[in-house]
Chain A
């Protein structure tokens, strides 16, 4: 069964797209990642133009994070003060990212930037996850009975604590300069606009290791700010680039929301580190495919000029 996407100007198999959403949702439920970093390249592989794929994915993430934020807000796991700081940065970064894409589209460099950002981000996240889970598996084998000792960083360093505008975040129980979350927000916002991702897979480690927030607050706050960043990115992409395909977004969120529920249930029954290695290999596989695409001579030397 085919469905015509009015903005992507492509006809796609409806089951393929819902299946794609289901698969990403499944991974998201299993591993706690947003899945946006895999969704956009997979959409490109089924023939969606890169700019439409990225913008529509941001739209789809709005749905996923709205559902998650609601659940976490009820549990009291959202640090609104921290979220707001990240948002201010995220909004600035998002606007800059959308504008950057627009300039680069005129020169034909947008797709290259999207691909390069993916290669770098996926490559590093994939490699990090691969070795982290490999180490965890080795440790589990070598000393299964040994109690894990957590090394907690007491300070984020002299430079960060010397920054002005130090604020105490009572929900997370940490003190930081406002510049830190705003700066990190900008960084994630730019990436969200370029890659069409919520930035969760970057934001979560940043909050744990750099902002030293407790894990349960991290997830809720991350979802909260991802939702708003993606609302902004969706609107700006629709407004200035006309690249949001509502029909594609609806099909994707249909699949991903159901997939996320199945994934959450499945995740409880399976071994985390083995799954993490599989995900890492999947991520690295996508990265290698993208690198080959950049390095090998394409069979076709022409590409669409702009979106329309």
Chain B
């Protein structure tokens, strides 16, 4: 009885040790294989001289393959005015149209054509490519007989012209067998927010691994102060705008008189 009890404890001990070793091995192998991703700089400051920012996205993969990088914001409802012909003559804004949910920023970079390197199901479930966004979006308002495809394309065009959406295939390159790099220009039009940067390792049309990180964009300094003043203390802001203009005008008037140009 004692012996069998002992045997049982030893067996249990061996099982636990084995499990522990296997777990350690798995963790270890995970840390070797895990994909890694960095964005430099990871924080963008919108200051007075801001005109967008050049970013470098780097990462390592467990094995060679194709890489897709996606930078996106949280999804929300996007409201616009839509244009149409008024009185059969003039093109003007004639009503509201709302898309929801859509990301305000959506940028995709890849080593190759995303429709060729990744299967349709995974493109849809990971929201990679405009088709996946179109499937998710609902459009409210707009013209009476609304052509969803046409108006979704208008949204993409609007966002692309503002630098907020883009799909740039062939922009990610491998610098060695398992290191990739992508150089991008971040658009100044992107509002302050926390953006999710995701990288996917793709092989044989399937996602093998993924990693993500955060890109922070925020207003700083005088831009932050002016924005909060214009909206928080509009009266003070208005008086300041007028006073600055009067002082500038009078100062120039003095210089003008001093120069004897009249």
Contact = CB atoms under 8 A, between A and B. Distances in A.
A234 B250 contact: no
A64 B84 CA distance: 39
A11 B51 contact: yes
A261 B261 contact: yes
A68 B253 contact: yes
Contacts of B2: none
Contacts of A184: none
Contacts of A66: 245-246, 248-250, 253
Nearest to B188: A11
Contacts of B155: 302
A15 interface: no
B73 to A, nearest CB: 16
Interface stretch (A140-148, A244-252, A278-286): A244-252
Contacts of A301: 82-84, 151, 154
A59 B261 contact: no
User: B151, B189, B248 — which one has the most chain A CB atoms within 10 A of its CB?
Assistant: B248
Interface residues of B, number: 60
B226 A6 contact: yes
Interface string A215-244: 000000000000000010011111110101
A300 B154 contact: yes
Interface stretch (A104-112, A126-134, A173-181): A104-112
Contact of B231 (A4, A242, A247, A265): A242
B226 to A, nearest CB: 4
Interface string B231-251: 100110111111011101110
B248 A257 contact: yes
Interface residues of A, number: 57
A67 interface: yes
Interface in A34-73: 59-60, 62-68, 70-71
Contact of B154 (A250, A264, A296, A302): A302
B74 interface: no
A235 B242 CA distance: 7
A294 B249 contact: no
Interface in B127-180: 151, 154-155, 157-158, 161
B56 interface: no
Interface stretch (B87-95, B102-110, B117-125): B87-95
Contacts of A294: 90-92
B262 to A, nearest CB: 7
A109 B252 contact: no
Interface stretch (B11-19, B41-49, B58-66, B196-204): B41-49
Contacts of B25: none
Contacts of B92: 108-109, 111-112, 294
A305 interface: yes
A10 to B, nearest CB: 8
A270 interface: no
Given A65-B249, A240-B234, A294-B90, A108 B81 contact: yes
Nearest to A253: B248
Interface string A131-162: 00000000000000000000000000000000
Contact of A59 (B50, B89, B242): B242
Contacts of B188: 2, 4, 10-11
A22 to B, nearest CB: 13
Given A242-B230, A246-B244, 17 more contacts: A2-B51, A6-B227, A7-B226, A63-B249, A65-B249, A231-B246, A235-B239, A235-B242, A242-B234, A246-B226, A253-B248, A295-B89, A295-B91, A300-B83, A301-B82, A302-B83, A303-B82
24 contacts: A3-B49, A9-B191, A59-B242, A63-B246, A63-B249, A65-B249, A66-B246, A66-B253, A108-B81, A109-B92, A111-B93, A112-B92, A235-B239, A246-B240, A261-B259, A261-B261, A265-B261, A295-B91, A299-B157, A300-B154, A301-B151, A302-B80, A302-B82, A305-B80
Interface of A: 1-4, 6-7, 9-11, 59-60, 62-68, 70-71, 74, 108-109, 111-112, 231, 234-240, 242, 244, 246-247, 249-250, 253, 257, 261, 264-265, 293-305
